Amino acid sequence: MLKQYCQEKGKIVDHALAAFVPSENVYPPKIFEAMRYSLFAGGKRLRPILLMAAADSIGGKGSDYLNVACGLEMIHTYSLIHDDLPAMDDDDYRRGKLTSHKVFGEGMAILAGDGLLTAAFTVMLAQPGVQADVLIKVIGEISNAAGALGMIGGQVIDLSSEGEKIDIDTLSYMHQAKTGALFQAAVRAGAQLAGGAEWQIASLTEYAKQYGLAFQITDDILDVTGTQEKIGKPVGSDVKNHKATYVTLYSLGKAQDMANQAVTNALQALKQFGQEADVLRELVRALLTRDN
């Protein structure tokens, strides 16, 4: 059921993204080409799907909020383009495809990222069918999650701690900021756009926190147990790069225990939700068996 849901919603998101970032009748065409290259480079559309599943979980209709959902994907994609730049992680490949700066050059890659970040707001602000004050609140939260106190701040810590030893508090702050904050904004956006009650929004926020934690720990585990073919980068690259991870700071076994606990906590946060929340439950359970 989860696979079907993700495929179905993924298609809807792809279709909407293609319309939001068109390739025809645009000038200058190169920048749109670069923006689309990364947007359609095999992303799993996890943030849009989390938004939609959160809206569904309280009886809303997730696909009514495609503008905000796609905005989240555009923000995520811009962050990958900039993270891959030579001045940052200097990665030539992502998901087995050449990174933006390898294809379009560094200057254009920076601009493609800037373009996607800016367009994300254009697209989100054009979200139809939502009360204007609710929309402002939701996009405000997303901008906060994506900013210097959130995703960008996490990348700053990542960048400045390369090759240095960081402690577990810094590591967990970094991940919460770099990845967790946008997951949380996605889930909260779905809940708020669909008109969730306070208790529902609070429960979904807790779910999202635990989801983010489980996502990051299993990401670190995959770096050790995954295959290059599936994860799209050399196995053990974190260890090789002396990167602090949940596995290197604890152990593989302990990291697996922690991931299990986070999933249990996420499910617990949904205990008052009916079967409408089954997709969210499956999404977090799936992290324990992910291979990419």
Nearer to a second copy among residue 152 and residue 252 (C-beta) = 152
Closest distance to a second copy from the beta carbon of 45 (Å)? 21
Q: Which of 143, 205, 248, 265 binds a second copy (CB under 8 A)?
A: 143
Q: 97 pairs with which residues across the strands?
A: 94
Query: What is the size of the binding site for a second copy (CB under 8 A)?
Result: 49
CA 88 to chain centre: 19
Q: Which of 39, 51, 72, 146 binds a second copy (CB under 8 A)?
A: 146
Query: 10 Å Cβ neighbour count for 10?
Result: 16
Q: Which of 42, 59, 129, 140 binds a second copy (CB under 8 A)?
A: 140
Q: What string marks each residue from 159 to 188 as x (binds a second copy by CB under 8 A) or -? A: xx------------x---------------
Q: What string marks each residue from 29 to 48 as x (binds a second copy by CB under 8 A) or -? A: -xxx--x-------------
Q: Which of 98, 110, 224, 288 binds a second copy (CB under 8 A)?
A: 110
Closest distance to a second copy from the beta carbon of 159 (Å)? 5
Nearer to a second copy among residue 128 and residue 253 (C-beta) = 128
Nearer to a second copy among residue 151 and residue 266 (C-beta) = 151
Nearer to a second copy among residue 105 and residue 234 (C-beta) = 105
The SS3 of residue 245 is coil
Closest distance to a second copy from the beta carbon of 218 (Å)? 25
Range 57-86, binding a second copy (CB under 8 A): 78, 82, 85
CA 273 to chain centre: 24
Geometric angle at alpha carbon 235, from 229 and 241, rounded to 5°: 140
Closest distance to a second copy from the beta carbon of 44 (Å)? 23
142 burial level (CB within 10 Å; 0-12, 13-18, 19+): buried
Query: Tokens representing 88?
Result: 């940052």
Rounded to an integer, what distance in angstroms lies between the CA atom of residue 272 and that of residue 59? 13
Closest distance to a second copy from the beta carbon of 111 (Å)? 6
Nearer to a second copy among residue 23 and residue 268 (C-beta) = 23
DSSP assignment letter at 24: S
19 burial level (CB within 10 Å; 0-12, 13-18, 19+): exposed
Closest distance to a second copy from the beta carbon of 150 (Å)? 9
Distances (CA, A) of 174 to 34, 167, 179: 29, 11, 8
Answer yes or no whether residue 28 interacts with a second copy by CB under 8 A: yes
Query: Tokens representing 28?
Result: 């200058």
Rounded to an integer, what distance in angstroms lies between the CA atom of residue 109 and that of residue 143? 21
Answer yes or no whether residue 156 interacts with a second copy by CB under 8 A: yes
Distances (CA, A) of 119 to 29, 36, 116, 277: 15, 12, 5, 31
CB 211 within 8 A of CB 49: no
Q: What is the contact surface with a second copy in residues (CB under 8 A)? A: 26-28, 30-32, 35, 78, 82, 85, 87-88, 105-108, 110-111, 113-115, 117-119, 121-122, 125-126, 131-133, 135-136, 139-140, 143-144, 146-149, 152-153, 155-157, 159-160, 173
